[in-house]
A and B are shown apart, each in its own frame.
Chain A
């Protein structure tokens, strides 16, 4: 790789980093130890003199982005700035849309091994009525960690069984789950059953098929009832929850872990006439041509991983995004599912770039392309007038691990940039000061 590919040349990096850290300490000193959710945007904000990566309209050097009431109102080299606007001079800085993590346990678990604090897996295999957002724990320490690292939208996703429920797109700042929900029910999750044991597979598949068949019968009966053509049919919360899927108003996100599952899922989804997104990584490259031809979008659930097979090249997983891109597959990248590691998302996109994905595509895979596949591109994913002012100011390329996100905004709200890491850091910096270390 050419070092210049990175926006942050070595020396500049550190020139930028020092003031950033200073600003940080000032911020922290004036605040309570805990991260506090930000109030709604009070007055217009204009970020000026920034290099703006809009992701849809190219890169604007020396640009300005204006937002008010939580929405972007203007983007350009010289848009008019409201008189009452707060102006942030971002000379030498960069503005990017917030990252979107498509598949995480954020808010649903705190410490993986503590079962009682984890709300991911409801009893039974068929749980279409489960709504992720209602157990989203606003006080989770992992949420600010994600936010200050630029993950401003996170799709919290239940898991387990064949239909674990409906993920929700959450904003990573707020006092209640309701405030934090950007879009509920972004889709219906289906975890394609393992095909390693035929009996178990056929059993699970029959169960899945039955869920869809029953939901269809339910929909038909209820519609007849509502049209006055049938007797009373009581509510079934499970099948009720599936009606938007049957109406193709809501996509299914089908997780498939290997080539047999991928092709089985595609065939099934087509037969059922579903609006379908495939979720996975392994073997997606093997069927890239088919995915492109059928126009099926893909959420890559992992990029940073060792090869699945001993004979595969060491960069096999890292190269999957490149292969999909070259085949013309519409894809996004989701990172580690673990709540504590949601913030690692850009690293996955960066690793794909290191192994051949064009850098711009890497950025899109965690912003605008993610928004499109998740159906939230009307709100987030790019810097465009009318969209939420969910964006970040950075001191460099946000795909570089050394880059600092200096300030993030969610719907124009200036987010408290402290998190548990920084809080503990400051606490022990204070210890060092007291002990004159």
Chain B
């Protein structure tokens, strides 16, 4: 500690620390002369002088009177830049112990945690960051959902309290819980978002409850909760919330949740922004961009290359262009070494090579972060009165040939670890008569040198070359050069000079020296030949089968002469036409007249059906499909975590699916709120939603929910009780909310996002979709619903539905079933092929589902299986179109080919229920999203694009190997 204090000599007036022993009063006055000073982005002063006094810049200009007390450092044309500010780090923060302070019931909620209070300067880490040009870091807590308060710290080396520049000036949040704090709720991303949302509401409630309590001391005392207090305060003061994001979708999610609560949002980016740059830049939120570019996918063997996706290949190639895209979109952008660490500068230079403007880069490292962090009066530029924290480099710092020579922080010089002396190149020997005028050429990789020695026209390979940064060592048989036996030589390197000793086989000892006459081939990474840019089309999503543009919606489309499965009162029409106008069906019939410019499709010999609807899949959900941290998790929402970047959306279109319900898994008696989407491949997650679908709540009974022995319930009886208890709680909550609105001088009622959707179910405003296999549990659930006066939307899986078809009909619940799944677990043993038939026979609203994305690509075949049990072809088609549409409350939009409905349809080359039939075209909203012929071409494009990028990876690796790069 004493050493550190000694190293940091500032004015004694700024600190309270007691001096131990002698005072250090070394003067801190410097004049850096003859410098190329970049005072701020876009402004250079050549041949200028920078004067520093006691950590502060005293002057910077071309004409400066150099103070008499200043130590003069002649920079001889070298560059000075304002020191970089790292906008995101966990610098100086150790991982906290598992939280047992019980500030908040959930250890992931830690808005009260202060980086400043826990800050411990870390000399090693500071050195690493300085080596990349950083002088200041924004240090942000690393753990939890609401992680706590960040601080701005200097990257010098002294006591913590001297290094903190601004404290508690930001809040950090994430969507994933930290594993540091146990394995409890929330286990999923959607649970994380739900807890964030509830915490924001709780913070509002907390303030209002305490205000009410202060005015009415006779009330029940509300809890004390420092986390909620800090959270409420931060929101009130407009303190920025930094959201950690994993990809472009998480940026959108962060934006959505911050929009809900009016947060001042800063986004810690992820490198995937370019994939949706237009949408992402629209928010106007500042970005903090890491430069952690992906390493190339392993394509070292043909079979490895087979397993690499185009998505990963594209990202490898496109990621270095991301900073330029983000900057080019006009977003406020700061950079961080977070994730790239020691590769930051190298990656920054790559980003510049890939289009990032140098001034934009410098601004993103200096003026922009200084302004964001509120330290622009002291940092960010080189100006009189600002902190003397700067970087000296030999050349333009943003070019690959440059090196950082020195970093100064608050007027202190911190040496940057020098590059190892370069041994490679051509050396001319002197000082030893037998080898006078010989030349040594060293090449190869820095740690695996090879070379030869040449005297006149004679040449010998060096049998041994090594260089461990202290001494260069050579060995070779001297006979060719006229020296008998092995010659061994060693030398010190300093710049372009060698100074050495040697010994021959005969025991002759000699000294020698050498000068470098030709430079080394150079750092291969710096000298690498720039390869021609690859011409990759933009794709949405940026992966295999991504579209280059959203398919157009022709004003008019007419399908001619088809076998038209209307699934409406008109049944199946032979030789029929269908007219589509602006994405909606405008006419269905025989011999329709169509506008002259209508796109005409001759469907002679073909069948046209409504787009298929799968009312139950678990695809396109990010961060876990179950929230297993609790039994009742109705607060979780699939809409929070939808992912449109799954190739399955395209594959589902290929199978004729146009709409589907995304459900939670079945780990919970009450799982959460589902989403109903269309397969609008290439669009954003929110754009997939069918907004006016009936809201739903996934519930589950039976084996899956009772299997967790560490959690209630463990029996089917317990399942009934926990659901009943949740219903009671929801009703009581509803009553409390109503009474609170009348204002009776009570504590405010806390909004409860878990109970609200349950209350909506009881009130008939939200459909319950209940996973169930056995008849007993379905009957139990029906009775429970009867008791609370609502109708169950549907049972899901419904394996034994056929055993109580009458009860389902009586109650009015829909039945969503597999065609033929059975016997994979005990409760599925009585699953039979005739289930749908028996349910449909008595008038239960019956639908088929997949619960499995691959199965979902062939729902026509699932329906065909029911035909064998005696279901008519129209009913079988209803099971995968109109009926699921009704169950999901989207039948006003889709499910049949009727006038006014969305033009979601499939063109089949044969009978849609034949095992030999697959879709020829799939249309959504009057846009052709899938075409079998186009798919053939697309498959070729995918192959070509893959081979092009794979070839580039191999090219780069080979060129690196040639240049001796490690």
Chain A positions 294-344 with a Cβ under 8 Å from a chain B Cβ: 304-307, 309-311, 313-315, 338-341, 344
Q: How far is the CB of A114 from the nearest CB of chain B, in Å?
A: 7
Q: Nearest-CB distance from B876 to chain A (Å)?
A: 9
In the complex, which of the residues B809, B861, B910 contacts A401, with contact meaning CB atoms closer than 8 Å? B861
With A420-B832, A437-B805 known as contacts, the answer to whether A401 contacts B915 (CB < 8 A) is yes
Which chain B residues border A338 with CB–CB below 8 Å? 823-824
Residues B910 and A402 in contact, CB atoms below 8 Å apart: no
* A1-50 residues at the B interface, CB under 8 angstroms: 1-3, 5-6, 10, 13-14, 17, 21
Q: Assess whether B824 is in contact with A340, with CB atoms less than 8 Å apart.
A: yes
Determine the distance from Cα of A339 to Cα of B822 in the docked complex, in whole angstroms.
Answer: 10
Q: Is the Cβ of B868 less than 8 Å from the Cβ of A6?
A: no
Most chain B CB inside 10 Å of its own CB: which residue of A141, A311, A347, A401: A311
B806 and A435 contact, CB distance less than 8 A: yes
Docked-complex contact B911 and A311, CB < 8 angstroms:
no
12 contacts between A and B (CB under 8 A): A2-B910, A6-B911, A17-B867, A21-B870, A113-B824, A309-B309, A314-B650, A340-B822, A353-B916, A354-B916, A359-B916, A432-B805
- Are A402 and B826 closer than 8 Å at their CB atoms? no
Q: Which residues of A contact B822 (CB under 8 A)?
A: 340
Whether B853 and A1, one on each chain, are in contact in the complex, defined by CB atoms closer than 8 angstroms, is no
Q: Is B935 an interface residue (CB 8 A)?
A: yes
Known interface pairs A259-B306, A305-B854, A310-B309; A339-B823 also in contact (CB < 8 Å): yes
State which of B543, B832, B864, B870 has its C-beta within 8 Å of the C-beta of A421: B832
Given A110-B823, A309-B307, A310-B310: A1 in contact with B918 (beta carbons within 8 A):
yes
A402 touches which of B805, B828, B857, B913 (Cβ 8 Å): B913
Is there contact, CB below 8 Å, between B915 and A111? no
CA distance A338 to B544 in the complex (A): 32
Q: Which of B647, B650, B832, B915 meets A399, CB within 8 Å?
A: B915
Task: Tell me, in angstroms, the Cα distance from A114 to B824 when the chains sit together.
Answer: 9
Check A351 for interface membership: any CB of B closer than 8 A: yes
Question: Do A1 and B917 touch across chains, with their CB atoms under 8 A apart?
Answer: yes
CB distance from B841 to the nearest CB of A (A): 7
User: A3, A113, A260, A339 — which one has the most chain B CB atoms within 10 A of its CB?
Assistant: A3
> Given A1-B918, A401-B913, do A314 and B654 touch, yes or no (CB 8 Å)?
yes
Question: Given A306-B854, A355-B918, 5 more contacts at CB 8 Å?
Answer: A3-B911, A111-B825, A310-B543, A350-B916, A431-B803
Q: How far is the CA of A169 from the CA of B942 in the complex (A)?
A: 43
A305 to B311 CA separation, bound complex (whole angstroms): 21
In Å, the complex CA distance between A112 and B827 comes to 12
List B contacts of A142 (CB < 8 A): 823
Q: Evaluate contact between B873 and A10: CB separation under 8 angstroms.
A: yes
On whether the beta carbons of B824 and A1 are closer than 8 Å, the reply is no
- What 1/0 mask marks residues of chain B from 646 to 660 whose CB sits below 8 Å from any chain A CB? 011011001100000
Known A10-B911, A310-B544; contact A432-B825, beta-carbon cutoff 8 A: no
B858 neighbours in A (Cβ, 8 Å) = 304, 351
B829 is contacted by which of A111, A351, A353 (Cβ under 8 Å)? A111
**A residues whose Cβ falls under 8 Å from a Cβ of B:** 1-3, 5-6, 10, 13-14, 17, 21, 110-114, 141-142, 258-260, 304-307, 309-311, 313-315, 338-341, 344, 347, 350-351, 353-355, 359, 399-404, 420-422, 424-425, 428-429, 431-432, 435, 437
Q: Write the chain A residue with the least CB distance to B819.
A: A401
Known contacts A304-B858, A400-B864; A1 and B309 CB within 8 A of each other = no
User: How does the 8 Å CB contact mask read for B628-667 relative to A, with 1 for contact and 0 for none?
Assistant: 0000000000000000000110110011000000000000
**Nearest B residue to A353, CB-CB:** B916
| Residues of B close to A1: CB separation below 8 A | 909-910, 914, 916-918
Kindly state whether residue B838 has any CB partner on chain A within 8 Å.
Answer: yes
Interface residues of B in 803-851 (CB under 8 A from A): 803, 805-806, 809, 820, 822-826, 828-830, 832-834, 837-838, 841-842
Interfacial chain B residues near A14, Cβ < 8 Å = 872-873
Contact across chains for A428 and B838 when beta carbons are under 8 A apart:
yes
Which 5 pairs show the lowest CB-CB distances between chains A and B? A350-B915, A340-B823, A425-B834, A401-B864, A310-B309
In chain A, what residue has the closest Cβ to B864?
A401
Expressed in whole angstroms, the minimum distance between the Cβ of A434 and any Cβ of chain B is: 10
**CB–CB B914/A400 < 8 A:** yes
B104 at the interface (CB under 8 A from A): no
User: How far, in Å, is B540 (CB) from chain A's closest CB?
Assistant: 16
B303 an interface residue at 8 Å Cβ cutoff?
A: yes
Interchain CB contact under 8 A, B803 and A428: yes
Do B915 and A347 touch (CB < 8 A)?
A: yes
Chain B residues numbered 303-344 whose CB sits less than 8 Å from any CB in chain A: 303, 306-307, 309-311
Question: Known contacts being A306-B853, A421-B833, is A314 close to B935, with CB within 8 Å?
Answer: yes
Measured between beta carbons, the chain A residues less than 8 angstroms from B81 are none
A374 to chain B, nearest CB (A): 24
**Known A260-B303, A311-B310; contact A421-B915, beta-carbon cutoff 8 A:** no
Q: Which residues of B lie under 8 Å from residue A10 when comparing CB positions?
A: 873, 911
Which residue from B655, B826, B830 sits with its C-beta under 8 Å from A424? B830
- Residues in A with CB closer than 8 Å to B309 are 309-311
Given A306-B651, A432-B805, CB of A401 within 8 Å of CB of B918: no
**Interchain CA distance A425-B647 in the complex, whole Å:** 39
Residues of A within 8 Å of B828, CB to CB, are 111
Chain B residues with CB below 8 A from A310, complex form = 309-311, 543-544, 647
B946 within 8 A of A: yes
Judged by a CB distance under 8 angstroms, whether B865 is at the interface is: yes
B869 in complex: contacting residue of A6, A307, A399, A425, CB < 8 Å: A425
Q: B247 contacts the other chain (Cβ, under 8 Å)?
A: no
B838's contact among A5, A17, A425, by CB below 8 Å, is which? A425
A6 to B915, CA, bound (A): 9
Q: Which residues of B contact A351 (CB under 8 A)?
A: 858, 861, 915
Q: Which residues of A contact B943 (CB under 8 A)?
A: 311
* Neighbouring B residues of A429 by C-beta, 8 Å: 838
B323 CB to closest chain A CB (Å) equals 27
Minimum CB–CB distance from B551 to chain A (whole Å) comes to 17
Contacting pair B544 A400 (CB below 8 A): no
| Contact assessment for A314 and B651 in the assembled complex, using a CB-CB cutoff below 8 Å | yes
Contact B303 A259 (CB under 8 A): yes
Is B802 in the interface zone, CB < 8 Å from A? yes
Report chain A residues within 8 Å CB of B307: 309
B806–chain A nearest beta-carbon distance, Å: 6
| A309→B935 CA distance, assembly (Å) | 16
- How distant is the Cα of A418 from the Cα of B915 in the complex, in angstroms? 25
B834 neighbours in A (Cβ, 8 Å) = 421-422, 424-425
Of the listed residues B647, B832, B943, the one surrounded by the most CB atoms of chain A closer than 10 A to its CB is: B832
The one of B823, B842, B867, B868 in contact with A437, judged by C-beta atoms closer than 8 angstroms, is B842
Residues of A within 8 A of B655 (CB): 314
A379–B803 Cα distance when bound, in Å, is 42
In the bound assembly, the distance between CA atoms of A293 and B4 in angstroms comes to: 76
CA A350 – CA B872 in complex, angstroms?
Answer: 21
Question: How far is it, in angstroms, between the C-alpha of A294 and the C-alpha of B647 when the chains are bound?
Answer: 36
Residue on A nearest B543 in the bound complex, by CB: A310
Query: Separation in Å of the A97 CB from the closest CB of chain B?
Result: 19
How long is the Cα–Cα vector from A260 to B544 in the complex, in angstroms?
Answer: 24
* Closest beta carbon of chain A to B614's beta carbon, Å: 15
B469 at the A/B interface (Cβ < 8 Å)? no
Q: Which residues of A contact B306 (CB under 8 A)?
A: 259, 309
Give bound CA distance, A428 to B306, whole Å. 51
A347 touching B861 by the CB < 8 A rule?
A: yes
Instruction: Contact check, A401 vs B867: say whether CB atoms are below 8 A apart.
Output: yes
Distance of A428 Cα from B605 Cα, bound (Å):
40
Q: With CB as the reference atom, state the residue of chain A lying closest to B838.
A: A428
Q: What is the distance, in angstroms, from A174's C-beta to the closest C-beta of chain B?
A: 21
Q: How far is the CA of A338 from the CA of B823 in the complex (A)?
A: 9
Q: For B910, what are the chain A residues with a Cβ–Cβ distance below 8 Å?
A: 1-3, 5-6
Determine whether B939 belongs to the interface, using a CB cutoff of 8 Å to chain A.
yes
> Considering the chains assembled together, what is the distance between the CA atoms of A356 and B46 in angstroms?
73
Chain B contacts of A428 at CB under 8 A? 802-803, 805, 838
Contacts of B310 in A (CB 8 A): 310-311
Residue of A nearest to B301 (CB): A260
